[in-house]
Structure 1
Amino acid sequence: MRLWRRPERGREIPLAMRLLSGPVIAAMRLIQDLTVTGTENLPASGPAIFISNHTSHLDGFVVAVALYQAGIPPRFMAKKELFAEPLGTALRALGQVEIDRDAPGGAIEQMAEILDEDWSLIIFPEGTFTHDPAGWPMRAKTGLARLHEARPNVPIIPVSHWGNERIIHQWTGRIRWPRILHRTERVLLHFGSPIELTGATYREQADSAMTTIAHEVARLRAELGRPMGTPPSERFEPEALNHRLRRQARQDAKALRLAMKKVRRAKLRARVRRLFGRP
């Protein structure tokens, strides 16, 4: 299904969102060739939790436009740092939700209240761009599982996409102008069927959600002619990598101290030998 069509589900759309939707959709049409599938899996009414992989600065725009065109006002959970003025005024007018990541308990309660008001939420469970070297979805935070526990009857819709990362690099922010100017980059987005979180712990449940998205990402990459095989059985975990790097740094620092100690001892012995005229 092609993306560029008018909303048809009759949901309430905030005024600021209606005013900005035209320019945003036009801009997205200019820079990428976007195709959306799976809209039959979207709920006809009531709230839903949309969870997506995160590879680029464009992800939020792509998911938001796809939902808006399906008649679902896109509301994101965004870190509070983004709500500094003047951007904060615009985000609040668009109905976006400020979240304090240092107070996870309050964030869950805040999201639950929004769902109770019949609004849907868009969440990037990874919390940031993927650090996985191959671009696979990495290990998610457990907030999704905690929110599901608080509101178990709200459907969870997986959103998988691929292609944005080839337009704007996620870490350097470098824009690949030839791809934009010639609109040569295909981007695929798929809304999956509602999923059940499986596992005995929050961690296992969060991992099960990302595994579903990862397998769909693999299918999209193959469809785009960039197959990467099957996703890894273990999700990439930045915290574990940081721990290993810190441990390695401590080990390197210890080895450096020992080496410098040996150098100082050797210099001291050399001075003593010179002092007493020994070779």
Structure 2
Amino acid sequence: MPHDVPPVRAPGPGAGEVPTRRPPHRQTRRPVSLALWSCVLVIYPVTVLLFRLRYRHAERIPATGPVLLVANHVSVLDPLACARLVWDAGRAPHFLAKDAVFRGPAGTVLRAAGQIPVSRGSSTASTSVSAAREALEAGHLVVIYPEGTVTRDPDWWPMQAHTGVARMALTSDAVVLPVAQWGPQRVHDYHARAWHPGLRAPAELLVGEPVDLSAHSARVRAGAPVTNELLREVTDLIMTRVRDQLAELRGEQPPAAFHPRPARQLPQPRSRPAGEAS
């Protein structure tokens, strides 16, 4: 698999156009921190061993500027494959990820590398959205899995997504890119809680055309309230694009509706020992 994305054409009239290449990766990635380089040195060889990656339309990832990359979630290994896609396209990824992976020394490195912890269902969840928005305002590429966890659909189609992705898309100038992933579940089957060890499992990633949210964004800029209904509409629009691209990768017809999210498990009250006063 080539590590460079295909050449693109410079803008201008059709006649006399000359092919040009994207800027060098050292420019499009900006200065790369030592923490991020350490992540690359670990993740890159692991993905080489785990996956035989195939990218479709990686050239659609802009060389510079804010990008919100929205992907489906079929495996706990998805971020490794997606990180390779972004890195090979000449950008440095900034992931929104569960706060559970930010514990201990690894968490310190991940934060220093610009990754963003998410604590869903807590008072700090909005802080993650704000941090992601700041990263976009700084011109970075942010990767988000709006489902929040591996899909519970038994056939691996996307389930209903959280609406934080819509809030970020509507309140930033980022290009919103839908990306479909298919293949990492062959290595780790989340539903069966099983690993299938092997080398170079096929995995494909399809980058779609940017999602046109100009009409929705114009309403917000004109003063329209960002209601739950608007957030759900935009979220479903983006995830429909992701689902349709997944159908293209799989060569199958997608379901008409998103699989429901699993019910949140509420904490159980602590049982009191016999004789303890209430």
Match of 1:119 among 122, 136, 140: 140
Q: Identify the residue that residue 131 of structure 2 maps to in structure 1.
A: 110
Q: How far did residue 72 of structure 1 move?
A: 0.7
1:158–1:193 Cα contact (<8 Å) kept: yes
Q: State how far apart, in whole Å, the 1-side matches of 2:48 and 2:132 are.
A: 31
Q: State how far apart, in whole Å, the 2-side matches of 1:186 and 1:21 are.
A: 21
Alignment size in residue pairs: 231
Match of 1:208 among 237, 240, 246: 237
Q: State how far apart, in whole Å, the 2-side matches of 1:24 and 1:3 are.
A: 18
Q: CA RMSD in A?
A: 2.4
1:76–1:96 Cα contact (<8 Å) kept: yes
Structure 1: gaps (5+ residues): 223-228, 247-279
- Percent of residue pairs bearing the same amino acid type: 31
Q: State how far apart, in whole Å, the 1-side matches of 2:192 and 2:131 are.
A: 33
Q: How far did residue 233 of structure 1 move?
A: 1.3
Q: Please state which structure has a larger fraction of its residues in strand.
A: 2
2:47 aligned with 1:18, yes or no? no
Q: Identify the residue that residue 56 of structure 1 maps to in structure 2.
A: 75
Match of 2:47 among 28, 31, 48: 28
Q: How far did residue 157 of structure 1 move?
A: 0.7
Q: Identify the residue that residue 253 of structure 2 maps to in structure 1.
A: 230
Q: State how far apart, in whole Å, the 2-side matches of 1:106 and 1:172 are.
A: 33
User: Are residues 86 and 22 of structure 1, via their aligned partners in 2, closer, same or farther at CA, if it must alter by over 3 Å?
Assistant: closer
Match of 1:157 among 177, 183, 192: 177
Q: Identify the residue that residue 68 of structure 1 maps to in structure 2.
A: 87
The secondary structure found in structure 1 opposite 2:204 is strand
User: Are residues 23 and 110 of structure 1, via their aligned partners in 2, closer, same or farther at CA, if it must alter by over 3 Å?
Assistant: closer
Q: How far did residue 119 of structure 1 move?
A: 1.5
Q: How far did residue 42 of structure 1 move?
A: 1.1
Structure 2: gaps (5+ residues): 6-22, 217-228, 267-278
Q: State how far apart, in whole Å, the 2-side matches of 1:61 and 1:173 are.
A: 18
Q: Identify the residue that residue 86 of structure 1 maps to in structure 2.
A: 105
2:59 aligned with 1:43, yes or no? no
Q: How far did residue 40 of structure 1 move?
A: 1.9
Amino acid at match of 1:195: V
Q: How far did residue 141 of structure 1 move?
A: 0.6
2:134 aligned with 1:134, yes or no? no
Between 1:163-172 and 1:8-17, the stretch displaced more is: 8-17
- CA-to-aligned-CA distance 1:63-116 (integer Å, 9 cap, x gap): 011111112111111222322213211212322112332234333222211211
Q: State how far apart, in whole Å, the 2-side matches of 1:81 and 1:193 are.
A: 32
Q: State how far apart, in whole Å, the 1-side matches of 2:184 and 2:257 are.
A: 24
| 4+ aligned runs moved over 6 Å, structure 1 | none
User: Over alpha carbons, which structure has the higher Rg?
Assistant: 1
- The two structures have a TM-score, normalised by structure 1, of 0.75
Q: State how far apart, in whole Å, the 2-side matches of 1:116 and 1:54 are.
A: 25
- CA-to-aligned-CA distance 1:211-240 (integer Å, 9 cap, x gap): 111111111112xxxxxx32111111124x
Between 1:212-221 and 1:112-121, the stretch displaced more is: 112-121
1:156–1:194 Cα contact (<8 Å) kept: yes
2:186 aligned with 1:166, yes or no? yes
Q: State how far apart, in whole Å, the 2-side matches of 1:97 and 1:107 are.
A: 7
